Amino acid sequence: MMNCVVQDVDNIEKMKKVKLARDVKAILYARLDSNSGKGMNEGWLVGDGEAYYIKEKDAIDHAIEAGYATLDEAVEDDYIYWSEWEDEEEYEYLEFNGNMYEIEIIDKM
């Protein structure tokens, strides 16, 4: 994965709009699925970010491997839970023309 430094969230949004206008695919994601590496803005979160899963089956498998009988048991124990990332400041990845880039948001001075 290559790194891409972006000055601020406003610039990301402007770049996204410009590139989409030219039929170039650019999508922002908050997290990456731990199994597939695909971008995600909602899904299963393990602990404090130990792992992320788009598919419920992957979350079930992880919970069972961690010693839980069911996904529900792991959720009740606050080991794993469903989350949605809607705040653009949480975006950490940019998929651009089929390639995934990690982005770093640099605060304005």
pLDDT band at 51 (very low <50, low <70, confident <90, very high): very high
Residue range of the domain that includes 72: 31-84
In a shared domain, residues 24 and 62: no
First to last CA, the chain: 28
59 vs 17 pLDDT, higher one: 59
How many domains are contained in the chain? Answer: 2
| pLDDT for 18 beyond 80 | no
**59 and 99 both lie in a single domain:** no
Same domain? 106 vs 75: no
Q: Are residues 35 and 78 in the same domain?
A: yes
Give yes or no: residues 95 and 72 share one domain: no
Q: Are residues 11 and 42 in the same domain?
A: no
List the single range of 1-10, 50-59, 68-77, 84-93 with lowest mean pLDDT. Answer: 1-10
Same domain flag for 37 and 12:
no
Average pLDDT, the chain: 82
Residues 53 and 78 in one domain: yes
10 and 43 assigned to the same domain: no
Confidence of residue 8 (pLDDT cuts 50, 70, 90): very low
Q: How confident is the model at residue 89 (pLDDT cuts 50, 70, 90)?
A: confident
SS3 content of the chain, % helix, strand, coil (to 5): 30, 35, 35
Q: Would the CA dihedral through 99, 105, 108, 109 be positive or negative?
A: negative
Residues 101/3, Cβ–Cβ less than 8 Å: yes
Check residue 47 and give left, alpha or beta (phi > 0: left; psi -120 to 50: alpha).
left
Alpha carbons 96 and 11: distance in angstroms, whole number: 15
Asked if residue 43 and residue 68 are part of one domain, the reply reads yes
